[in-house]
Amino acid sequence: MRARQRTSSSAGGSTALIAAWAAFAFGAAYAAVSAYWGLGGTGLLDTLGGTLGKLAHSASAGALILVWAVAVLKLVAALLPLAAIRLAERSSARQWARALSWVTAATLTVYGLALTGVGLLVQAGVITAAAHADRRALAWHAFLWDPWFLCWGMLVTTAMVASRRSARAAAPPRTSPAELDPHSRVV
C-alpha cells in the first residue's frame, strides 16, 4: 500500500510539474507578445481589433503603461503555478500562490472558454457580427488569442488538481486523538 501511495504521489507530482511548466510556457509566451508590443513592435497588433487595437496603435504614454502592466501581469500569472507547486509545503507563500493559482485557473479558463465559444459561433455564422466589426480581428480571436487563454487556463487547472492529488497521496495517514494519547482506552 505504501509503495502504491508513493507511485501515485510521484505520478501526480510529475503531472503537476509538467502542467505547471507548460502553463508557464503559455503564459510567458503571451507576456512576450505584450512586451514586444510594449517595445514598439507592430506585428499582429491589427489582430486585436476594436478599442484594444486603437489604443495599442496610439502609442500614447497611457497605452504603453497599460501594455507593460499587462505583460507583467501575464508573467506573474505564468509563474504562480510553479510557485504553488515548488515552494515549501505549509509556507504562507505557497498557500497564497495556490489560492492565486486557482483564481488564475478559473479566470483564464472561463474567459477563454466564453470568448472562444462565442468567437467560433461568430465564425460559423450562428451569431451575426455587427456590420462594423473587424472580421479579421474576430477570426484571430476565435482561432488564436482566446483559445490561448483557454489552453493556458486548462494547464493551470491541471497543475493545481494534480498537485493537490499528489499532496494528498504523500500525506501521512491521519490518526485519531485516541491513538495519540497512550492513556486513553478505545472500546
> Is 154 within a domain?
yes
pTM: 0.82
96, part of any domain: yes
Residue 186 domain flag: no
Q: Is residue 177 part of a domain?
A: no
* Inside any domain, residue 178: no
pLDDT tens digit string along 11-42? 668 999 999 999 999 999 999 999 999 999 99
pLDDT for 103 equals 98
Structural domain span for residue 128: 2-169
Instruction: Evaluate whether residue 181 is within a structural domain.
Output: no
Q: Report the 3 state secondary structure along the chain.
A: CHHHHHHHHHHHHHHHHHHHHHHHHHHHHHHHHHHHHHCCCCCCHHHCCHHHHHHHHHCCHHHHHHHHHHHHHHHHHHHHHHHHHHCCCCCHHHHHHHHHHHHHHHHHHHHHHHHHHHHHHHHCCCCCCCCCCCHHHHHHHHHHHHHHHHHHHHHHHHHHHHHHHHHHHHCCCCCCHHHHCCCCCCC
